[in-house]
């Protein structure tokens, strides 16, 4: 176990957390980044890496994975240290104004400031109530797709009626051997363009619409999935031959350890001061979707602005006695940093 040091600890390696690293780096503050996932990218990479995003300034269209890659490259000159696959278990304010950050692997990081960029908190998929489903989870029953090609040649049942289910049914139509979309209603809760594409795929035989049906049971030997049984309102059942069930019934969020840190909370979000993004505890800031203030919009670009405000607000804590003169990046370029390992 190690006692490490960093100017700032960023909790969350999603887009907003990565941009917070860049903003801190521009002000010559070194960052350690902690994330419970095994790779940087946060919800974007975990849920929809291949889906396009349309509201990032200067990018008419960019996939989530490309956005994360660009943000990682943007932060790279400031040599952040990543602590992935671990969680922050405790934040302990020190007498000197510092903050001790305890990690689930036993390590501790002493920092001058902490930025919480944890999105909506820990995400858990809503699991369908099917007997024996745990036997198939991970290989035959999945709750997300990172690469469509991973399902190439498979017979896939996609369950759900929202944007994720419709989008993935469309994306897999040209990849999987067979795609069957199960929904309890004939109408889908997705964007009109996506629904139009789905109907076109169904008309061409690339997607089979199984409506109005719901999941009923899994058929197999506990190791290999053979079929998915669905049922309609009349109690009539169908067995859909498949080797993969992609269940997309949304996600539930939990604050996890964050709820125990003594921060002021409001409806599963952390209350912050709008001008600084500082929480109710000095030196701890919250940015992005997890931050709550009047008029807050849960958009990536709003999180980017939060990160910039938080970085400037914490500068006096990290560099006490130094005067911060606001300058545009076109004037200062990318400043050198102290690459001391953290």
Quickly count: other Cβ atoms within 10 Å of residue 36's Cβ.
Answer: 18
**pLDDT for res 256:** 79
Mean pLDDT of 12-26: 96
- The model's pLDDT over 122-131, given as tens digits with 9 standing for 90+, comes to 667 788 999 9
- The model's pLDDT over 70-98, given as tens digits with 9 standing for 90+, comes to 999 999 999 999 999 899 999 999 888 89
- The domain segmentation of the chain, as residue ranges, is 3-123+252-332, 127-249
Residues in a beta bridge with 108:
3, 102
Band (17; pLDDT cuts 50, 70, 90): very high
Mean pLDDT of 142-165: 90
**pLDDT for res 338:** 57
Residue 49 has pLDDT above 80, yes or no: no
Mean pLDDT of 5-9: 97
Residue 340 has pLDDT above 50, yes or no: no
- The model's pLDDT over 198-246, given as tens digits with 9 standing for 90+, comes to 999 999 999 999 999 999 999 999 899 999 999 999 999 999 999 999 9
Matching fold, domains 3-123+252-332 and 127-249? yes
Q: Which of 125, 72, 113, 89 is nearest to 287 (CA)?
A: 113
Q: Looking at the domain that runs over 3-123+252-332, which CATH code has it been given?
A: 3.50.50.60
**pLDDT for res 341:** 43
The third-level CATH classification (topology) of the domain covering 127-249 is FAD/NAD(P)-binding domain (3.50.50)
User: CA 309 to CA 3: how far, in whole Å?
Assistant: 29
| Alpha helices (runs of H) in 111-177, residue ranges in sequence order | 163-172
Band (337; pLDDT cuts 50, 70, 90): low
Most confidently modeled range among 35-44, 255-264, 266-275, 318-327: 266-275
Quick one: which H or E segment has residue 116?
strand 108-116
Residue-averaged pLDDT of the chain: 91
């Amino acid at each position: 176990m190690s006692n490490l040091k960093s100017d700032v600890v960023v909790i969350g390696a999603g887009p907003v957390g990565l941009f917070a690293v860049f903003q801190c780096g521009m002000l010559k503050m070194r960052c350690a980044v902690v994330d419970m996932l095994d790779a940087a990218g946060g919800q974007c990479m975990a849920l929809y890496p291949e889906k396009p995003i349309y509201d990032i300034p200067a990018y008419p269209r960019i996939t989530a994975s490309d956005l994360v890659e660009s943000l990682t490259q943007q932060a790279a000159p400031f040599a952040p240290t990543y602590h992935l696959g671990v969680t922050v278990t405790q934040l302990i304010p020190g007498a000197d104004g510092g903050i001790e950050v305890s990690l689930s692997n036993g390590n501790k990081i002493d920092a001058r400031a902490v930025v919480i960029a944890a999105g909506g908190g820990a995400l858990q998929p809503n699991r369908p109530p099917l007997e024996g489903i745990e036997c198939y989870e991970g290989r035959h029953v999945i709750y997300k797709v990172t690469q469509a090609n991973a399902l190439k040649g498979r017979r896939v049942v996609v369950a759900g009626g929202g944007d994720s289910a419709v989008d993935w049914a469309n994306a897999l139509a040209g990849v999987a051997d067979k795609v069957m979309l199960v929904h309890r209603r004939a109408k889908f809760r997705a964007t009109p363009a996506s629904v139009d594409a789905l109907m076109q795929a169904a008309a061409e035989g690339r997607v089979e619409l199984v409506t109005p049906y719901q999941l009923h049971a899994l058929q197999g030997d506990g190791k290999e999935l053979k079929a998915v049984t669905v049922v309609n309102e009349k109690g009539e059942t169908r067995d859909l031959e498949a080797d993969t069930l992609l269940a997309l019934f949304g996600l539930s969020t939990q604050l996890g350890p964050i709820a125990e840190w003594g921060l002021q909370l409001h409806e599963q979000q952390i209350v912050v001061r709008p001008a600084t993004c500082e929480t109710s505890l000095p030196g701890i800031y919250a940015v992005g979707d997890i931050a709550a203030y009047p008029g807050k919009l849960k958009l990536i670009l709003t999180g980017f602005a939060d990160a910039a405000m938080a970085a400037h607000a914490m500068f006096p804590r990290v560099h006490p006695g130094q005067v911060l003169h606001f300058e545009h990046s076109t004037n200062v370029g990318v400043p050198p940093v102290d690459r001391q390992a953290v």
